Structure 1
Amino acid sequence: MRSKSFYALALFFGLYVLFLYGPMIAIFILSFQGPDGGLTFPMNGVSLFWFEKLFSGGGIVNIGAAFVRSLKLGLVVMVVTVAISVSAGLAFRKSFRGAAALFYIAVASLIVPSIITSLGIALEFRLLDDLMKAYGPDWLAETHTTFMGLFTSGLGAHLTWTLPFGLLIMFAIFNRFNPAYEEAARDLGATPWQTFRFVVLPIILPR
């Protein structure tokens, strides 16, 4: 027999999940409205009219183009995150001046509210736009539109979320890494690049 507290906590958890996912579930149900329906209950008919409008590209958002842009950005973010995280993991194996400050700056986005980080990124790239218009070369300032784009501000915003996780994972991996493998490779005449490529990288790759 379960105690009353179990059912009370289960009810609280259920309400919490409903609070998180309730709006999304409501929007999903309302997406099956008829052509004359809106974001209101009761539903005015049932159809796939709005899905047809969405995938035909005739609406406000071209879902196909948006998916392709997101896929491109995701691939670039993945490559950049892996490259920086592995490099940082190798660098932090040795102590250097400012290592602690650099570490806390790198993971600060996990603590700072996302709205603050987003506003900071927007202001930063807007400032770059102003600097380009004020102090940039004439030939470049005339054709320049904005630095805010998919692979500039968009890439920076995504990296503020992916880099801290990548760094923490690589720090954990290298903390358990046995340097004897590298020493053995160097004793056998391997160069630093050969040691990284044939010894370090295969060990740290996910399995």
Structure 2
Amino acid sequence: MEDYLKHIYQLQEHTDQVTTSAIAQRMDVSAASVTDMIKKLSERGYLHYTPYRGVELTPEGRGLALNVLRKHRLWEVFLVEYLDFPLHQVHEEAEDLEHLPSTELVQRLDKLLGYPRIDPHGDPIPTADGTIEDQHGRLLAHAQPGQSARIVRVSDTNPELLRYLESIGLVPHTEIQIKSRAPFEGPMVVEVDGVEHSLGNTVMNHIFVNIHPR
């Protein structure tokens, strides 16, 4: 149930109404499973369902979703900073840890980590009262040759892609220069620590940056 609320919240960040097909695709489950869970969540007051349009979280559902996200992202910080997990592994590990029920454990974890505001991927960490900052950055795909930028966030949905980004140094807080871009949405060449890399659209659409003023 918590996983559904979390994923619906993340989908709802980009659209007001989240379709059942979008939920099924994101969670890799059947449409029938989604329908059954939506019914249960609706009965408990966690979401509203409008036929042929989709679902929308209620304030109660949003609060639970943010609590799960808070635990998930705090555990990701812990795994990276204290256990030296590589970036591409922490998301899967945190999927299990996020369901530990102890509120005191989460409070102590937050204090131990120094009350971090973002997770290792650059995503904002909700506070204990359910406040969450807006996600920052624009897709690297929208940057132009000659611009310089700082990576602020990378998508955590593809472990193999994350492994590749780590291997070439394209991780949050890294400074990059956009050297060139082939026409018709072709590859982009970026420079990282003096080394140039050619990036395709799949990679560019998983990286978010802040462009530096010229």
TM-score, normalised on structure 2? 0.24
Structure 1 or 2: more strand by fraction? 2
Based on CA coordinates, which of the two structures has the bigger radius of gyration?
1
Structure 1 or 2: more helix by fraction? 1
TM-score, normalised on structure 1? 0.25
